[in-house]
Structures are given as C-alpha cells and as structure tokens.
Amino acid sequence: MCIAAGFISDDDDDNLLRSAAYETIGELINAAPVDCRPCIDAFVPKFLERLQATFSPDFDKEQQNQLQTALCCTLENSLNVLGAEYRPYINPTIQLLFSIFQSKTNTVHEEALSLFGALIQRMLLCASLHACK
C-alpha cells in the first residue's frame, strides 16, 4: 500500500494518475490481510483530508469529480475492511458526503451514495451487536 501511496502527491498535476493510484490503493485495501488494519486505519484521515481538499476552488469540475469518485471508493473499501474500527471516522465522512450531495454532480453522487449506504449498514450492524461503544 505504501508503494501506491507514493504516487499520490500534492504537486502531481496528472489527475488521472492520482485517481488511478486511489483505485489501486482501494484494491490493495480489499486484499489486505488482517494484520494490515493498523496501516489502513492510519491512511483514513489522509483520505478524508484529501476529499476535503477537493472542495477547494483550485480544482476544476473534472478534477474534482475524478478525485471525489476515487476517494469515495477508497473510503468505502477502508470501511468494509476496518469494520467497527472505522467508527471515529463516521462523522467526518458523513459531513463530507453531505458536501458532495450539495453539489450538482450526479457522477459522484453514485459513489457517495454507495459509501453512505455502507456507513448506514455498518452503524446498524454495530448498534445491533453493541460492538461500537
């Protein structure tokens, strides 16, 4: 995962490469063994920061759409792997999703809704099992 993370830099002008790197990280997260969870957990705040940064006026709409889509998928993969360990990130994730929903970009809404559904499912599971205390 650290190799793919190296492709993501703030000074990189190639947004397709950046989006592909997030997709690669998402696949690595899905395939990660259980002992990699601390590493995945350490990356989630950075993914959230990067998603927040996409609301900057520095991004054009195409860049914003590509990165938001890739980051929503990466966060959903992280949620699915971390399970109850994702709990500290639920509120910041929901706040960012509401910002995405306020935009008029339907292409990102699909991925954002998928992440939102996964969050709701995780919260319901945790509530029913009392695993998220």
CA–CA distance, 122 with 126 (Å, rounded to integer): 6
What residues make up the domain containing 31?
2-129
CA–CA distance, 14 with 35 (Å, rounded to integer): 32
> How confident is the model over 82-133, as pLDDT tens digits?
998 999 999 999 999 999 998 876 678 888 999 999 999 888 877 776 655 4
CA–CA distance, 62 with 72 (Å, rounded to integer): 15
Number of domains in the chain: 1
3-state secondary structure of 13: coil
DSSP 47-100: HHHHHHHTTSTTS-HHHHHHHHHHHHHHHHHHHHHHGGGGGGGHHHHHHHHHHH
Sign of the torsion formed by the C-alpha atoms of 9, 61, 21 and 34: positive
> How confident is the model over 34-75, as pLDDT tens digits?
999 999 999 999 999 999 999 988 888 888 888 999 999 999
